[in-house]
Amino acid sequence: MELFSEIYGIYYDIVTKILQKQCITAYEINEMAQKYGFEESALQMIPKLLDGKSWRFLEKKQGKYVSKLQKSPSMPLTTLEKQFLKAVIEEKRCRLFLEEEEQKRLKQLLKDVPPLFREDMFDMFDQYQDGDDFENKNYQQIFRSIHRAMRSRHIVIIKYLGGHRSEKRMLHKGMFLPLKWEYSQKDDKFRIYCIKVEQSGKANPMVLNMGRIVWAKQTEKIWNKPVDMEKIVYGRKVKTPIVIKITSERNAIERFLIEFSTYEKESEYDEQTGVCTVRMWYVKNDETEVLIKLLGFGPVLKVMSPPFFVKQIKQRIDKQMQWIAKQKTSLYPYQIREEKNSMQCYDVFTEGENKSHGEME
Amino acid sequence: MADFQELIKNFNHLRVYIRAFYIYGYGTRNTISQKSKRTYDNEKRRIASYLGQYMKHYYGKKGKTVFLSIDSAAIPQNPFYKAYQSKSFTDNDMMLHFFILDRLECKKMLTAGQMTDEISFAYGEMFDVQTVRGKLREYEKEGILQSRKIGKALYYEKSKDTLEKFFPKKEAVEDCIVFASESMPFSVIGSYICNGMHLKNNYFLWKHHFIAHTLDDMELLQMVKAIEQDRGVELVNVSRKTNKKTTLKGIPFLILVSTQTGRRYVFLYADKQKRFMTLRLDCIQNVTLLEKAQHKQGLQQKAAEVLQTKWGTSVKWQNIPEHFEMTIFAEDKTEQFIVERLKREKRFGTVKKIAKNTYCFSIDTADTNEMMNWVKTFTGRIIDITGKNQKMINRFYKDMYCMAQLYEDG
């Protein structure tokens, strides 16, 4: 069982599509290779398909190419695919998208197939502990009714619990058009990108936590106005990137670049100073998350801009220094002063500050 | 570049280059090229061919820097799956694939000899019977064909497990498969099924989505097989810092996944070193399965003991937990979200209210150092920290002082 195999490859896939046509022109072959292939696939595939020497599937008849195959090509599921499917139907999050009947049917079909992996082979050691209760019957029922409404574009009445600023959560009710699910493995939660439909007819984009929805009922109303998904989902990304300088101490550059690899970013490394400069774009809603993650790195990085972001960092550090100053029993700040001379970590940031960056294209 | 090939035989080079362009994104032709400049040019051209829409470049002091700019929250499908569709093959591989499946669709059951004749009659193509037999065996291993012995002859037939049989109503399963094709381990296999069924992602967005994980799935597959079958593995571990390759033998027990930092590890017992260790999957190459590890059972209890007190991936054979406490300020009336955060992120620690607006997190962990990044995310609220590992506590205060200096003048 090979994961990296030509049978799943793009060339086999394109040839399948071409041979499914039975009779096809050279122009259409070229078009299909362009559409479904990699950038240079057409260049590499077409001579092999049409030269009559390499991939001898096609015969030229009256200016067109006819497949030599007698049946339309298709490939059965591989063992790897079936084992993956078995793992899928045993997985609680994936099962949310399958009705009970469908789960039973697939279970029966895969009864002799071992799953590709078991959940207990993986330890997601830093996954948050307040993830959604995927196996709760009420959660499943609400989830599926919202998913059905999402597919059919029906408006749903939803009752949900508000945020947790105070000790008590408030119950809210409203009409929503669910648009997309967002899943986070770190939070182990589903969120719903939706439009809140007001009585006045006004529609506001919103994100709801699935786990906080306590009740949902689909209405008869279908939303048939266009929805600008791009604006709702990605419109909230900051226009000005956050600029961060990272030193190579404590393997910070690598740790940072992997940890923030999910964000759109550009990086530049200065070999002389050993400092990496990163420009990173984030969604406005995630600002606090980004801020605390950056604080977690400590003094091995410095946020250079935008000023409002730097200000927030400074405020938190100032507050922290106040807490430290209050600690009468602590060794600090006495010992800190002692160690001041041995601290070089911030020097490198100032050295590189006025250097210009290359032009981004 | 006359003989440039878009497809590849070995995934490892591509894996290294994609990571260099995507994760690091600052390397130039001079700094990245592992073997030669020509290799760099070829790999770059391939990646441009697969992932051209995400490829950007800029001119810096060291020359042209090429990188992949991808916001994983804004993509319908992991673009790195494309790399898995780039396996090279011979002309015979390609022709036998379609001819064999076509013949078995028409004739239902054939021996290797009959198949060779059938291909010759039906398409006028001559193949060596050994070549055909090899391909039939290979496809049986992949599960596309099944074999049956009748008398002395071995017959091959096409597997009946078609997409149509499994998914007669596409709409009943499509969202499940699309979701699995991004969220599950080995999700690239889900993407193969999506390709076969022509499924598109219409309803999903991803957050904290570490797409580069997929590049290590071949190594992961070997590890999972070894765990399942209680077998040992031999692997090559490549040091990120020195690029030094070390061959190592061990028994894998568990895959550790960090959902926050984007790293995955294998937790294994290293035979020669006689200790448990965690190795990053992205630094591992060429994993081969060894014989059944007879002594795995005897190590299970020790493994559980070692894993019990780890905060992240740092494990110690002599498991002497270090006590640690952090006192946090959170306004009772308005900042319950901080208390909630502590509770959901505490792992096996405990959180207690100890006074008005004051909460205490405490834990006994194998390595305090591993936890300190998380501790610093509470900067601004930490009333006090105490613990057995004084070195780490000193470092915390030093870090805070250093940060205060760092931002002192803007």
- Summarised one tens digit per residue, pLDDT across range B315-330 is 988 878 999 999 999 9
For residues B117 and B39, membership in a common domain is answered with no
With a CB cutoff of 8 Å and minimum separation 6, the contacts of A39 are B48, B49, B50, B52
**DSSP 8-state symbol, B20:** I
Q: Does residue B314 sit within a domain?
A: no
Residue B108, Cβ neighbours under 10 Å: how many?
11
CA distance B171 to A286: 34
SS3 call for B106: helix
Q: Do B210 and A262 touch (CB under 8 A)?
A: yes
Residue A97 is predicted with a pLDDT of 96
B386 and chain A in contact, CB less than 8 A: no
- The sign of the CA dihedral A134, A139, A144, A146 is negative
Q: Test A233 with B383 for CB contact under 8 angstroms.
A: no
Kind of pairing between the strands at B153-158 and B109-110: antiparallel
pLDDT at B35: 67
Give the distance, in angstroms, between the CA of residue B30 and the centroid of all CA atoms in the same chain. Answer: 28
Residue of B nearest to A107 (CA): B166
The pLDDT of residue A94: 97
Q: What letter represents residue A205's amino acid? A: P
CATH number at residue B26: 1.10.10
| Cis status of the peptide bond prior to A178, with omega within 30 of 0 | no
- pLDDT, residue B59, reads 87
Answer for the pair B171, B125: CB distance below 8 angstroms, yes or no: no
CATH number where B125 lies: 1.10.10.10
Residue A269 is nearest to which of B26, B173, B382, comparing CB atoms?
A: B26
Contact by Cβ (8 Å): A67, A19: yes
Q: The CATH number of the domain where B244 resides is what? A: 2.30.30.520
Examine the domain organization and report whether B54 and B126 are in the same domain: no
What share of chain A has pLDDT > 70, as a percent? 89
Q: What is the pLDDT of residue A349?
A: 58
Specify whether B149 is located in the same domain as B192: no
**How many CA atoms within 13 Å lie on the side-chain side of A185?**
25
Instruction: Assign B274 to helix, strand or coil.
Output: coil
Last residue of some domain: B270, B285, B308? B308
Instruction: Using the predicted structure, report yes or no on whether residue A360 has a pLDDT greater than 70.
Output: no
Cis peptide before A241 (omega within 30 of 0): no
Q: Do B334 and A165 touch (CB under 8 A)?
A: yes
String of b and e for A194-210 (b: at least 16 CB within 10 Å)?
bbbbeeeeebebeebbb
Three-state DSSP class for residue B86: coil
Is residue B72 located within the same domain as residue B106?
Answer: no
| Mean pLDDT computed over B191-220 | 96
Does residue B322 contact residue B386 with C-beta atoms inside 8 Å? no
Evaluate whether B60 touches B25 at the Cβ level (below 8 Å). no
Classify residue B246 as exposed, middle or buried by CB count within 10 Å of its CB (0-12, 13-18, 19+). Answer: exposed
Q: What is the mean pLDDT of residues B207-215?
A: 96
Q: How many domains does chain B have?
A: 5
Q: Look at residue B45 and tell me if it is in a domain.
A: yes
Q: Which of residues 59-98 of B touch A (CB under 8 A)?
A: 59-62, 65, 67, 69-74, 82, 84-89, 91, 93-95, 97-98
Torsions phi, psi for B145 (to 5 deg): -115, 160
Residue B110 lies in a domain: yes
Contact B68, B51 (CB under 8 A): yes
Task: Say whether pLDDT at B362 is over 70.
Answer: yes
Structure tokens at B167: 């998914």
In a domain, B152, yes or no: yes
Task: Find tokens 């999957």 and name the residue.
Answer: B281
**pLDDT surpasses 80 at A358:** no
Residue A175 distance to chain B (closest CA, Å):
19
Which of B23, B44, B78 represents a domain boundary (last residue)? B78
Q: With contact defined as beta carbons under 8 Å apart, do A266 and A278 qualify? A: yes
Same domain, B292 and B353: no
* Per-residue pLDDT, A341: 43
Query: Is residue B83 in a domain?
Result: no
Domain co-membership, B99 together with B43:
no
Q: Does residue B190 surpass a pLDDT of 60? A: yes
pLDDT in tens, A205-214: 999 999 999 9
Q: Is residue B168 part of a domain?
A: yes
* Tens of pLDDT, residues A49-69: 999 899 999 999 999 999 999
Q: How confident is the model at residue A271 (pLDDT cuts 50, 70, 90)?
A: confident
Instruction: Give the closest-approach CA distance of A128 to chain B in angstroms.
Output: 5
pLDDT at B29: 82
What gap in Å lies between CA A192 and CA B305, rounded to an integer? 40
Q: Is pLDDT larger for residue A179 or for residue A162?
A: A179
Confirm whether B315 is domain-assigned.
Answer: no
Contact A268 B346 (CB under 8 A): no
| C-beta atoms of B58 and A358 within 8 A | yes
Task: Name the residue range of residue B189's domain.
Answer: 163-209
Token duo for residue B203: 């309803």
Q: For the residues A228-255, what does the mean pLDDT come to?
A: 89
Tell me the one-letter amino acid at B63: G
**A interface mutation test: which of B261, B345, B399 has the most A CBs within 10 A?**
B261
Q: What is the mean pLDDT of residues B179-196?
A: 97
Q: Residue B337 maps to which CATH number?
A: 3.30.70
Same domain, B232 and B246: yes
Provide the residue type at A262 as one letter.
Answer: T
Model confidence pLDDT, tens digit, residues B5-23: 999 999 998 999 999 999 9
Let me know how many helices (H) and strands (E) chain B has, helices first.
Answer: 15, 15
Say which of A97, A271, A336 has its CB closest to residue B401.
A336
Kindly tell me if the per-residue pLDDT of A328 is higher than 70: no
Q: Which amino acid is at A129?
A: Q
Predicted local distance difference test score (pLDDT) of residue A165: 61
Is B372 within 8 Å of B392 (Cβ atoms)? yes
Residues of chain B positioned with their CB less than 8 A from the CB of A124: 257-259
pLDDT of residue A342: 44
User: HEC states along B3-56?
Assistant: CCCCCECCHHHHHHHHHHHHHHCCCEHHHHCCCCHHHHHHHHHHHHHHHHHHEE
What pLDDT shows up at residue A166?
Answer: 59
How many CB atoms sit inside 10 A of residue B203's CB? Answer: 18
Q: Does B187 fall in a domain?
A: yes
What residues are paired with A172 via a beta bridge?
Answer: A160
Q: Considering chain B, what is the average pLDDT of its residues?
A: 94
Residues in chain B closer than 8 A to A66 (CB atoms): none
Interchain contact, B401 vs A15, CB within 8 Å: no
Two structure tokens written together for B251:
């028994």
